[in-house]
């Protein structure tokens, strides 16, 4: 069976939750014998790979402009999928899902993964929010199979579109790679167990400015705040966030993966995610896999992870966040055991494979 994947910027080592999801999932799908091709957005690609861990890679030129690059790329990717004689087009995210009917009209089956109601993100204007909502509708109503990554999203699709046959398939997390990287820590000017970690894209809905403000209010006892990440599109918010961070002595790493990121996760005393919007945050799951204490906003997607009451604070309440961070810094450096069994990528790959197989059976 030939699967063509779109809706992602690409893999490997490209920033974003959907990108991490695809990088983990599709090599496992390919290992099960499926012919998998991911269509990448060329402007994000910094390699010349044509294959990654059994997944074929095809790069398509698209304008790097956040207002319409996803739609243009998906349009070209669906045409490419048709030329490749794909059996299934797997579309990720609600923006690209706008073109689900096009893939169906071209005779291909569609699997749509809903990663979250992106129209709730602060960065989008009215026109973009309308298009994203329309994409959600098109994907939900016309895809052959719909995957949701949380019960929160499933409830949205039942309530808004009466689609009751969606498949709940959580995001996953890999086994932690516990490691040391003293040279990198020296470069950053930090010490093991003496920093708080924030890890995400620099976009408004992640509320990293709240974390910087909260950290500036506390007695940090020599601890530092480290923000690992960056933005796809430098804008007023990301520039102001970086300026604010530097003003308060925050350590900015830029976008990192591999040993640098693993070492930061290994030795942080706490991970903080103050978002106002999430689907099911892979960054939070990664931190939990390293047994890191976490502090997260009380939005539905974070609540679904099922942490203890004391791990949450009211979204947008900077003073409450400051108090939580202060409590962590005042407490002994420790680790926490979480039950990560439902976030196993191998199990997730098997779930998605069964969804593909169900479409094959439907043709018989």
DSSP 229: -
Full-model pTM: 0.86
Spelled out in words, what is the top-level CATH class assigned to the domain 182-340?
A: alpha beta
State whether CATH 3.40.50.2000 applies to domain 2-172+344-362: yes
Q: Can you list the alpha helix ranges (DSSP code H) found in 189-253?
A: 208-216, 236-247
Q: What angle do CA 280, 283, 284 make, to 5 degrees?
A: 70
Tell me if 115 sits within 8 A of 18, measured CB to CB. yes
Per-residue confidence of the chain (364 residues) as pLDDT tens digits? 999 999 999 999 998 889 999 999 999 999 999 999 999 999 999 999 999 999 999 999 988 776 678 899 999 999 999 999 999 999 999 999 999 999 999 999 999 999 998 888 767 788 889 999 999 999 999 999 999 999 999 999 999 999 999 999 999 998 999 999 999 999 999 999 999 999 999 999 999 999 999 999 999 999 999 999 999 888 899 999 999 999 999 999 999 989 999 999 999 999 999 999 888 889 999 999 999 999 999 999 999 999 999 999 999 999 999 999 999 999 999 999 999 989 999 999 999 999 999 998 766 5
Shortest CA distance to 130 belongs to which of 119, 115, 117? 119
How far apart CA 344 and CA 187 sit, in angstroms, is 34
Please name the helix (run of DSSP H) or strand (run of DSSP E) that holds residue 302, with its range, or none: helix 300-303
Q: What are phi and psi of 77, to 5 degrees?
A: -65, -40
Measured N-to-C along each axis, helices 151-161 and 126-142 cross at an angle, to the nearest 10 degrees, of 90
Region(s) of the chain under CATH 3.40.50.2000: 2-172+344-362, 182-340
């Amino acid at each position: 069976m030939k699967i063509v994947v779109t809706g992602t910027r690409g893999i490997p080592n490209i920033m974003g939750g959907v990108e991490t999801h695809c990088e983990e999932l599709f090599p496992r799908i390919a290992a099960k014998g499926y012919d998998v091709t991911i269509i990448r957005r060329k402007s994000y690609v910094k390699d010349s790979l044509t294959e990654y861990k059994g997944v074929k890679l095809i790069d398509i030129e698209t304008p790097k402009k956040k207002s319409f690059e996803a739609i243009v790329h998906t349009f070209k990717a669906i045409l490419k999928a048709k030329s490749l004689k794909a059996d299934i087009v797997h579309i990720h995210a609600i923006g690209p899902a706008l073109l689900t009917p096009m893939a169906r009209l071209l005779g291909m089956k569609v699997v749509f993964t809903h990663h979250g109601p992106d129209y709730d993100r602060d960065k989008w204007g009215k026109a973009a929010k309308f298009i994203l909502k329309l994409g959600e509708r098109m994907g939900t109503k016309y895809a052959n199979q719909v995957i949701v990554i949380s019960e929160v999203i499933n409830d949205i699709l039942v309530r808004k579109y009466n689609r009751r046959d969606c498949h709940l398939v959580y995001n996953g997390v890999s086994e932690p790679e516990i490691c040391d990287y003293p040279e990198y820590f020296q470069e950053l000017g930090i010490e093991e167990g003496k920093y708080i970690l924030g890890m995400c894209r620099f976009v408004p809905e992640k509320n990293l400015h709240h974390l910087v403000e909260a950290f500036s209010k506390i007695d940090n006892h020599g601890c530092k705040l480290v923000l690992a990440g960056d933005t796809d599109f430098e804008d007023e918010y990301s520039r102001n966030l970086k300026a604010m961070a530097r003003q308060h002595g925050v350590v900015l790493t830029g976008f990192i993966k591999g040993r640098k990121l693993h070492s930061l996760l290994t030795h942080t005393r706490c991970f903080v995610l103050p978002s106002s919007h999430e689907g099911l945050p892979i960054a939070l799951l990664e931190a939990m896999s390293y047994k890191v204490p976490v502090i997260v906003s009380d939005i539905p997607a974070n609540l679904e992870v099922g942490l203890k009451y004391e791990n949450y604070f009211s979204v947008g309440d900077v003073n409450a966040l400051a108090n939580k961070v202060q409590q962590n810094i005042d407490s002994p450096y420790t680790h926490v055991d979480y039950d990560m069994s439902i976030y196993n990528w191998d199990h997730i790959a098997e779930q998605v494979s069964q969804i593909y197989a169900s479409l094959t059976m439907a043709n018989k």
